[in-house]
Structure 1
């Protein structure tokens, strides 16, 4: 038994970012052709594209602001013209901002998280899921966060956006399940990546984690690949934590 995505086309938003680039490469290693979305970092997106092509898979980079309907629709047109329909959609992009307490957080930060966590998922679903419905198969994977369960000081705007995203994707899972489309969420903990290496500053965090370590970007990508595959064909509407047990969704 193995994860085999041969013949599938995947789209990863924020594919040039710290977690996105590993997701893109992992999906390609499983046999998928991969579209690497980026907003500003064209150079890194092209680097990921070249790495995917070196694996023998088709790939392209596409630029868009995924919080703007016209840009998402234009992206869809470009992708389908060059790569064909999207079978696997990974909504990973998010707007970064400076965290502070609710009473001090600028209102524009709440707006940015609404747009990049909620509106992003809605616009991508409206653009790409109808085609999945027509084909009777598809995978939607949203990248959430352990913070949505922690609700720690300073996380207010991020948690607001991600919890709203959770609601939208759970509803979507019920609305499109009959068409054999699964909708799930991967919720990373504080993850080691190229941009966020292990450090002494994370010692306190590691001590709270049952497994006494931070996860890696590959840990996240592995779950994304599984959920994208036929092996996960009867799993939908789920929020799955990849945090070493730091948060534990309950029944």
Structure 2
């Protein structure tokens, strides 16, 4: 999501996807001055997702209760506000568990399941607004370990990586999920494997040219 730095952490690696925080005065010597534990939440399920923070809520994904779920937690009460099953059952692949750190944009959350579906969810109540399976674009991962991506919101669009030769990256209307464009990337090189990789799209403005840059199974594309 293209956004100015704020007190929120609304997506993977922060507001600008650069892993930089604007907070000042944090201790750099945790051995001498360790941070105090304020609270913790358990039972969010199996997975490798990080967390997003926006408008007083924390969001993450995890496999629990037989499905891959998007979970919202109220920061004031530390209680689960809602959970939304994103799959009918927990996806089966190597290293089972969720991968996606949700992307929060206003009153919507965007998430990619590890079996390859992008979904738009209302942050108010967890209602699924729309969802699109990557198989509709012939999507594939470079391995059998599941899709590992956090969607990128840019203006009125949301981008993700199905990983097929004629739809390596797709750009969708973030409100309706309708396809705006898709990027064909034929098999290139001999290193790696064809398909999506373990990475999330970033925006580059190098030399004044806006590009969407992604690391996929064969290498870096833009």
TM-score computed with the length of structure 1 as normaliser = 0.29
Task: Looking at secondary structure, tell me which structure has more strand per residue.
Answer: 2
Structure-2-length-normalised TM-score: 0.31
Greater share of residues in helix:
1
